[in-house]
């Protein structure tokens, strides 16, 4: 089977302390947000059956704990509106942790931060996302980022 590029998200289904801490920090920086969500996003090259990708990822105990995580395949390989992706520049391509995932030849891990305004809508102001990215989420010396508004 020819390799396909896929974007996979692993999100906590329990309260996320990192997201809460980011929310408090953003507010202390004077960046108005109502809610923050956090996840790990992987762009991967997969040669396996697309119908089994989620179950193959769920078999990797290093990536997935059924009591804590939810795995989904994203329909696009770009951040959603109000979402910031950050990643280490020198770690663009690597194997998935643990025993890897059957038929996945490489993976790029990114951290996803989704920002919402007080009405619950995705943050839509460029300045809000730019400041959040550059003042909290990204270390400019070693990381790159991408966001959509």
Domain that holds residue 33: 4-148
Residue 41 has pLDDT above 60, yes or no: yes
Residues in the chain: 149
State whether the Cα torsion 26-19-126-140 is positive or negative: positive
Largest separation between any pair of C-alpha atoms in the chain: 50
Q: Is 0.95 topped by the overall pTM? A: no
Per-residue pLDDT tens digits for 90-146:
765 666 777 789 999 889 999 999 999 999 999 999 999 999 999 999 999 999 999
Question: How many Cβ atoms from other residues are within 10 Å of residue 5's Cβ?
Answer: 11
Q: Which helix (H) or strand (E) holds 46?
A: strand 35-46
124 neighbors 14 (Cβ within 8 angstroms): no
pLDDT at 116: 98
Domain count across the chain: 1
101 neighbors 125 (Cβ within 8 angstroms): no
d(CA 116, CA 43): 24
Per-residue pLDDT tens digits for 58-78:
999 989 999 999 999 999 999
């Amino acid at each position: 089977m020819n390799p396909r590029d896929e974007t996979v998200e692993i999100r906590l289904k329990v309260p996320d302390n990192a997201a809460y801490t980011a929310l408090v920090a953003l507010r202390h920086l004077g960046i108005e947000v109502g809610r923050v969500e956090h996840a790990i996003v992987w762009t991967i090259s997969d040669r396996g059956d697309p119908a089994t990708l989620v179950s193959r990822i769920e078999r990797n105990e290093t990536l997935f704990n059924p009591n804590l995580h939810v795995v989904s395949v994203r329909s696009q390989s770009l951040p959603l509106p109000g979402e910031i992706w950050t990643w280490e520049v020198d770690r663009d391509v690597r194997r998935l942790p643990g025993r890897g995932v059957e038929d996945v030849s490489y993976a790029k891990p990114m951290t996803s931060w989704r920002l919402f305004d007080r009405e619950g809508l995705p943050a839509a102001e460029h300045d809000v996302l730019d400041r959040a990215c550059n003042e909290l989420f990204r270390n400019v010396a070693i990381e790159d980022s991408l966001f959509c508004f």
